A and B are shown apart, each in its own frame.
Chain A
Amino acid sequence: MNYNLNNQPAGERKSSTWTGLKSLLKLVEQERKKLILALAAILLNSSLNLLGPFLIGHTIDKYIQTKQYHGVLVFSGILLTMYLVAFITSYFQTSLMGGIGQRIIFELRNAIFNKIQQLPVAFFNENKAGDLISRVNNDTDKLNQFFSQALMQFISSIMMMIGAGIFLLIINVKLGLATLVPGLFILIFTRAISPWVKHKNALNLKSTGGMSAEIQESLNNFKVIIAFNRRDYFRKRFDTVNQENYRTAIGSGLANSVFLPVFGLFSSIAQLTVLSFGIYLITQGNFSVGLLVSYLSYATNFYNPLRQLASLWTSFQVALAGWDRISQILSLSSNLVTLSAETGQEQTDAVLEFRNVHFGYTGGYEILHNISFTMKPGKTYALVGPTGGGKTTTASIMARLYDPQQGTVLLKGRDIRSYTPEERAEKIGFILQEPFLFTGTVKENILYSNERFHKYSSEEFIGVLKAARLEGLLTTFDKGLDTDILSGGDSLSIGQKQLIAFMRAVLRQPELLILDEATANIDTITEQLLGQILDNLPKETTLVIIAHRLNTIENADEIFFINSGEVSPAGSFKEAVDKLMSGKRTS
């Protein structure tokens, strides 16, 4: 599956305003009841607002023109009652509709996050972190702005327009039609230029994502920039993306500002039409001055919301562009499907077996060629070989971060693909080459997602650490378990991060534990301690160790030599060393 979001096939990417809207509306389904209530409130509110000018017009014609002040007062009383009702409906229209908007955006945000959680590691490797973050934060925010602010106005504006339009036609069909003609022009105009406007906004969102990715990279790599005195590099790179963002922002800004003047012009023309055609009708005796005054109000009531729609339409186009980028993520699915558990259980004493495995990363060359090996319970295996030979890739396939293109991986005699993620995570532990820490404390990081010890008090937990002989590793943290970890663990050394990752994995007590250069930056004395901790693990625990340091692997029961995508058993430690020192290497 192609996970590169900026390089998706163009075929299905073409989506009109309408299809975008339809898929957005699917989000509203469970809100149907509330939505009906809200629409009722909007309908009532709009009718009351529309009835106002009609009654005023009626009062002018019937009572003011005929100088009957009593009637004026009676109708003022009626209007007052109406306005009071409108006060209440207006409150409900906003709170109901806004509530729906908030819940939709809530559901949407959760859906995206949930989707991202389901996607495999390949997805994250093929997209820049900054771009993904921008999609989840920035693009949902654009939708948020639309839902929380614009949606209500959008619907009530349309209601007002429809209502006003109906009134215009009821009072006088001919005049009504004449008033609505400019509206038709607006409709055609909007339809014609909306795709262009949306496209411009999409370009802008894309360059915003690119800018955010660039900033993310430069700031996180700042020490290299300083150490190589390339402060100008940061400025230059930033200048490029900043200019690009400026260019696309101008493009979308100019596109967005087209609507308002055009809408304004047509609504002025509509007013003029009412006035001149209305006066003409009065001279013909088919109309009255009072009606003309309220007619002008209706025309305003029709065109004012339309003018408002102009600015709303813009935010709608921005939201749709954001929605497109989000739905790109939502349309992806994991390529790591769980097969049914019935898929053949073989009788074997092996914990893990690779059978004719071929693998290459998306868009790259084959990295592993036809690899087969077995690993037995309770043994320690070492994977050695030159850098770039495929050790980390092999380990990643063992933990099913990727599926091989060909061949199978068997975990305890069953296809690894038939285990649920829970079962797999329980059986396989994998200490990654780059340790990752979450903001929090050392304790929270060690116990991350550890259900067994999660509810333990600090004393109980220290007992657990003692039993696992892990307690001694805490001395390098100045406040022990309660040492704070700031974002990304910047306050800690790599060695310290590796210690936490080590403790985290060991406490989960997996049956198969993979260490990918997990102790590379830890001093040799502490490493000996780690060796004792590993020895202390239950007898049947299988260890897979990737390391360059030879004393890390000297106690291995079996050594595999991995080079140029091929795995060969290296025999004894000494043979492996000889192979390493003198063997032909390609990397």
Chain B
Amino acid sequence: MKEQINSDKKRSPGLFSLLRPYAGMVTLLILFALFSNGLNLWLPRLIGHGIDAYNSGNFSYQIMIKEFLGVAVIIFIFSYLQGIVQTFASERVARDLRMRIAVKISGQSFAFIEKANPSKLLTNLTSDVDSIKLFVSQAIVSIVSSLFIIIGASVLLLTINWKLGLTTIAIIPIIGGAFYTVLKKVKVLFKKSREVIDWLNKVINESILGSALIRVINSQQLEYDKFFAASNQAKDIGVSILRLFAWLIPIIVFTANMAGLTILALGGHYVINGSMTIGDFAAFNSYLALLIFPILVIGFMSNVIAQATASFARISQVLDTEDQPETGKLDTAVSGEIEIKNIQISYGQKAILKDISFKVEPGEKIAVIGPTAAGKTQLLYLLTGLIPATSGSVLYDGKPIDAYDAEAFHSQVGFVFQDSIMFNMSIRENIAFSDTVTDESLGKAIATAELKDFVDALPAGLDTQVSERGLSLSGGQKQRIMLARALAVNPKVLLLDDFTARVDNQTEQKILENIGLNYPGLTLISVTQKIASVENYAKIILLMQGEMLAAGTHEELMGSCPEYVQIFNSQQSTSQYEL
């Protein structure tokens, strides 16, 4: 047994090492399985003995029933225990593995999640773990007990009559060969079918997430056609796999039948010439029946192992990613002074931000404006440490951002994202998302974000559940909840990403007033489209295609930057109403 594990270990390091913490359980599992299977082997022998005893005239009902029943009950107990241990072992492995993956993911950077792709991580956490679970619950026990039965049955066959035994055992390599050939072909198809399933899932996911759009333009048929193509291919691959297996099973049955025939012809011969008893002959038939099933099991289980190995390789990719470098230890309060020096961010060939430098004094208000895809959001992501710079440095109070302790840092920098991100929990939990939030700062944040009337009007107040993706709230309500979430940590620095886009002007004005009143000394960096609301800011930075085109006060830019003037003019006609 030990050898088997070792030889497998060379091929697929990891899959078996996964079991190490559960060694006790797995050993228990194997022991129970061996017991119940070993005793199962004993039953035909008892039958043979019974018949022989009857033939030789010293048969006793009492002894036979006692022995037989005793063995049957013990088998029952052990196989039941095996079932219980099997369930606990496999579910524990699965639970712990899922947790390990989740913990690993939770320590990763934003860039990692984007790159690894959330839906792939979902597959890692669900179906990949499931195939490992199947390996633990079925493959280990099945293979060990099958090997045990094959070896045991073979030994017994050989001791009864070695010539006949050898001819019977000859079926093992034949069946093994058939399996090997078929599985080799099936493996290719399995890989293909996995790809088709990914494709199917993608179509399903998009049709669910994009359901509103699909209904607006009535493209259900188009979606169905997309799905049908994938579904049809899945069916075709399924049928091809089936064809291969459809050959496999008859070959095995036929080989086994041939062995039975040999026993009849050859064994019959031995019985006739007296070199074998009729009871042994009967036992031979029983052992043959016993022998075939484990061979089948090993064949099918080798497939389970192959799939589990592939799944574990995918999971290992996640587990083996480097942990994020330890964040710094600095937990001093930041003053709000931020400096960006020669920042460059590139994704592959494409430069997102090119050589950006500027400085923000404590308590200053800075605006970043610029067209779509100018790199404004990336600049904010950089300032919160969500993404790293390719080169250059981000300094808070003269110290690089990664010198700060993550918790200390994030509790001083609030970020309002452009896209509404709501969690399926109560409004209170959505706002007091960080656990450093006190009731007082929660109340202040709600009042500042002009949410008080809205929350008070709800029958369950702050305890109202927000449905998934925030579908029960309007765009502006979500935006304000996100603002309150950022303010609730009592930040020294507040980063707003196009916050005003979905909030009406009146509310926006009130909120900005509230912020000035309730959070004095707050450093504010606001990405926006509206010049009017930021005209009096200390500095306005104009970004275009990743370049810092100009920076200065509104007046300076009006005098020096034609692009800025153009943007200003595009908003001119109505600006009188916006102040």
Contact = CB atoms under 8 A, between A and B. Distances in A.
A238 B99 contact: yes
Interface residues of A, number: 173
A387 B99 contact: no
A580 B119 CA distance: 43
B212 A94 contact: no
Contacts of B43: 268, 271
Most B CB contacts (10 A, CB to CB) among A117, A271, A391, A581 go to A117
Interface residues of B, number: 173
Contacts of B126: 138, 208, 211-212, 215
B51 A128 contact: no
A487 B371 contact: no
Secondary structure class of chain B's binding surface, majority of residues? helix
Contact of B371 (A254, A526, A577, A587): A526
B72 A98 contact: no
A230 B434 contact: yes
Contact of B424 (A118, A138, A217): A217
Interface stretch (A255-263, A368-376, A535-543): A255-263
Contacts of A49: 253
A187 interface: no
Given A76-B264, A257-B84, A133 B204 contact: yes
Secondary structure class of chain A's binding surface, majority of residues? helix
A117 B214 contact: yes
A581 B125 contact: no
Contacts of A59: 264, 268
Interface stretch (B18-26, B168-176, B565-573): B565-573
Contacts of A231: 106-107
B110 interface: yes
B102 to A, nearest CB: 4
A520 B502 contact: yes
B282 A293 contact: yes
Contacts of B500: 548
A24 interface: no
A250 B373 contact: no
Nearest to B411: A229
Interface in B451-495: 453-454, 457, 467-469, 471-477, 479-480, 485, 489
Given A63-B268, A223-B421, A242-B98, A272 B372 contact: no
Most A CB contacts (10 A, CB to CB) among B76, B386, B434 go to B76
A496 B113 CA distance: 22
A493 interface: yes
B242 A94 contact: yes
B372 A587 contact: no
A110 B227 contact: yes
Interface string A98-130: 110011011001100110111011011110111
Interface in A211-260: 211-213, 215-217, 219-235, 238-239, 242-243, 245-246, 249-250, 253-254, 256-258, 260
A279 interface: yes
Interface stretch (A159-167, A425-433, A459-467): A425-433
A72 B235 contact: no
Nearest to A367: B474
Nearest to A72: B268
B373 A496 contact: yes
A496 B574 contact: no
A306 to B, nearest CB: 14
Interface stretch (A78-86, A172-180, A190-198, A351-359): A78-86
B242 A83 contact: no
Interface string B371-386: 1111001000100111
A122 to B, nearest CB: 10
A229 B406 contact: yes
Interface string B522-533: 000000011000
Interface stretch (A6-14, A28-36, A549-557): A549-557
A257 B172 CA distance: 30
Contacts of A208: 126
A232 B59 CA distance: 71
A221 B242 contact: no
A121 B211 contact: yes
A386 interface: yes
A84 to B, nearest CB: 8
B242 A72 contact: no
Interface string B200-217: 111011111111111111
A498 B223 CA distance: 21
B341 to A, nearest CB: 22
Contacts of B386: 223, 226-227
Contacts of B73: 265
A102 B241 CA distance: 11
B198 to A, nearest CB: 11
A120 B573 CA distance: 41
Nearest to A153: B249
A83 B83 CA distance: 36
Contacts of A260: 79, 83
Given A80-B261, A229-B406, A297-B285, A217 B423 contact: yes
19 contacts: A91-B246, A138-B127, A211-B126, A212-B122, A223-B381, A227-B384, A231-B107, A242-B98, A246-B95, A249-B87, A253-B91, A261-B79, A279-B61, A386-B476, A422-B218, A449-B222, A486-B117, A521-B372, A551-B574
> Which 4 pairs show the lowest CB-CB distances between chains A and B?
A387-B476, A257-B83, A495-B372, A253-B87
